[in-house]
Amino acid sequence: MALKTPEQFEESLRKMNFKIYLMGELVKNPVDHPMIRPSMNSVKMTYALALQPEHEDLMTARSHLTGEKINRFTHLHQSTDDLVKKVKMQRLLGQQTASCFQRCVGMDAMNAVDSTTFEMDRKLGTKYHERFIQFLKMVQDEDLTVDGAMTDTKGDRSLAPHQQADPDMFVHVVEKNDQGIIVRGAKAHQTGAVNSHWIMVMPTIAMSKEDADYAVSFVCPADEKGVFYIYGRQSCDTRKMEGGTIDVGNSRFGGHEALMVFDNVFIPWENVLMCGEYEFSGMLVERFAGYHRQSYGGCKVGVGDVLIGAAALAADYNGAAKASHVKDKLIEMTHLNETLYSCGIACSAQGSKTASGTYLIDLLLANVCKQNVTRFPYEIARLAEDIAGGLMVTMASEKDLQHPEIGKVLEKYLQGNAGICTEDRARIMRLVENLTLGTAAVGYRTESMHGAGSPQAQRIMISRQSNLERKKKLAKKIAGIKE
């Protein structure tokens, strides 16, 4: 079985034994929990679209290992065409869910680990790449969702991992034996963690010799003994527990993040992909970050498409669609959104082959892409809020709208365009609120800032990749200055 159905994916999660804490309580049934299920629905869409003939080219690929048709989220990029299709696939899914669909991190992690372990083995004589390939074959064959876990809690940012007052601020090896290793620590902001089958852990920064115990990469089942999760809060998240659909804005789909804790977790050697090879930790971090910064040129653009559409509908429902300033704002939103997409396509088209055969994006352009993502969605959201109007955040509740008495009052006074029913106007206002301020904003606006690294992380990479010395030589040559 190379392609799961959405129903098979859901059933596979029901068979897992997750330990999840949400709002101070241990969750007994995460699949059906009203705060978690919308995020699971988003992941289901990655399975559903892969089975639709019209999306087959984007959503699936041929495994270079087995020749079988597989979900593109389990694929290693074999060409620049694969890199471009990845971005197009992510835009499609953003359009279909208007939220985070959560499989990108694992896909990006697997592609980064592939080329890094290959080059590590070639230089050091280790056997990590063989282990990775065996894991990947399982992931492809069973169409598994993998959570890529990179971000450590970090403690005091001015101190290296080995200097921390508490050594667990970075995931690290606490014991080695003939069977494997034992690890302890936590990974923060883990997108889609409780909708995943496996975890792929990576170091979060380039490590020094003194930090060798922290230069660790491995895979383990997401419900492994000793792994537990503390579910993160999102703005307006408890609206999902009220039983309605209007106030949520996007009642079908969503995303989530969690703190993933490793409490002395045993990892057998066959699942260890780096253990002390600190000199390759920076390569892994850099390549994963590049792939994930490319991803934002697709997923955030797809969600942006929905937000632009919602803003345009709000203008229609408000009776303001013909106003020249509204038209201009929609043009600006589209310009910004398509600029992000252009960056995602550009860094993909300019990708190059690594030693393992997997294709890597252009790292400079990928970081430029993500740097723009830290800015443009904020302006797109601002313009959407401007067009929607203040009612977006002062509107009465769904229960009031449906009340037998006051509902009639609201229907009368919240009427905009006479051709549009008040409930439809309320729904589109709540969708704009959801995308700019609510739960979806976590996966759109705020994640645009901090996901795949903060803005300064991209600026550091842009500086490293900018090749200023070559640019100086070009200027000297044109100016007639001899070396």
Nearest 10 degrees: CA dihedral of 158, 159, 164, 168?
Answer: 90
Nearest 10 degrees: CA dihedral of 133, 134, 135, 137?
Answer: 80
Domain termination site, one of 242, 274, 306: 274
Q: What is the pTM of this model?
A: 0.97
Task: Report the C-alpha gap between 44 and 35 in whole angstroms.
Answer: 16
Q: Report pLDDT digits (tens) over 242-262.
A: 999 999 999 999 999 999 999
Based on the fold, state whether residues 299 and 264 are members of the same structural domain. no
Q: Has 74 been annotated as catalytic?
A: no
The single residue of 296, 317, 359, 444 carrying the catalytic annotation is 296
Kindly state whether residue 23 falls inside one of the protein's structural domains.
Answer: yes
Q: Report pLDDT digits (tens) over 255-295.
A: 999 999 999 999 999 999 999 999 999 999 999 999 999 99
Q: Is the pLDDT of residue 94 over 80?
A: yes
Based on the fold, state whether residues 359 and 395 are members of the same structural domain. yes
Q: Report pLDDT digits (tens) over 111-150.
A: 999 999 999 999 999 999 999 999 999 999 999 999 999 9
Q: How far is CA 325 from the centre of its chain?
A: 34
Per-residue pLDDT at 2:
87
Based on the fold, state whether residues 299 and 397 are members of the same structural domain. yes
Pairing of strands 146-149, 198-201: parallel
Q: How many domains does the chain have?
A: 2
Whose CA is closest to 101, among 45, 48, 148, 139?
45
Based on the fold, state whether residues 442 and 325 are members of the same structural domain. yes
Q: Report pLDDT digits (tens) over 35-56.
A: 999 999 999 999 999 999 999 9
Based on the fold, state whether residues 44 and 169 are members of the same structural domain. yes
Task: Report the C-alpha gap between 384 and 37 in whole angstroms.
Answer: 27
Which residues span the domain enclosing 311? 283-467
Q: Has 278 been annotated as catalytic?
A: no
Domain termination site, one of 214, 246, 274: 274
Amino acid at 77: H
Number of other CB atoms surrounding residue 1 within 10 Å: 9
Q: Has 257 been annotated as catalytic?
A: yes
Q: Has 191 been annotated as catalytic?
A: yes
Kindly state whether residue 67 falls inside one of the protein's structural domains.
Answer: yes
**CB 96 within 8 Å of CB 44:** no
Whose CA is closest to 286, among 144, 461, 420?
461
Q: Report pLDDT digits (tens) over 460-482.
A: 999 999 999 999 999 999 999 99
Based on the fold, state whether residues 149 and 267 are members of the same structural domain. yes
Q: How far is CA 131 from the centre of its chain?
A: 25
Kindly state whether residue 474 falls inside one of the protein's structural domains.
Answer: no
- What the block records as the tokens of 399 is 């229960």
Based on the fold, state whether residues 180 and 316 are members of the same structural domain. no
Based on the fold, state whether residues 267 and 395 are members of the same structural domain. no
The single residue of 46, 75, 116, 257 carrying the catalytic annotation is 257
Amino acid at 327: K
Based on the fold, state whether residues 84 and 175 are members of the same structural domain. yes
The single residue of 191, 204, 354, 439 carrying the catalytic annotation is 191
Give me the helix-helix angle, 37-48 and 6-14, nearest 10°.
Answer: 140
The phi, psi pair for 78, rounded to 5°, reads: -105, 5
Task: Report the C-alpha gap between 219 and 175 in whole angstroms.
Answer: 17
Please identify which residue in the block is written with the tokens 């896909």.
107
**CB 204 within 8 Å of CB 150:** yes
Percent of the chain with pLDDT over 70: 100
Alpha carbon separation from 235 to 39, 141, 244, 434, 439 (Å, rounded): 15, 37, 17, 9, 5
Q: Report pLDDT digits (tens) over 333-361.
A: 999 999 999 999 999 999 999 999 999 99
Q: Is 353 helix (H, G, I), strand (E, B) or coil?
A: strand
The single residue of 104, 220, 275, 343 carrying the catalytic annotation is 104
Based on the fold, state whether residues 107 and 157 are members of the same structural domain. yes
Q: Has 347 been annotated as catalytic?
A: no
Domain termination site, one of 224, 255, 274: 274
Based on the fold, state whether residues 183 and 300 are members of the same structural domain. no
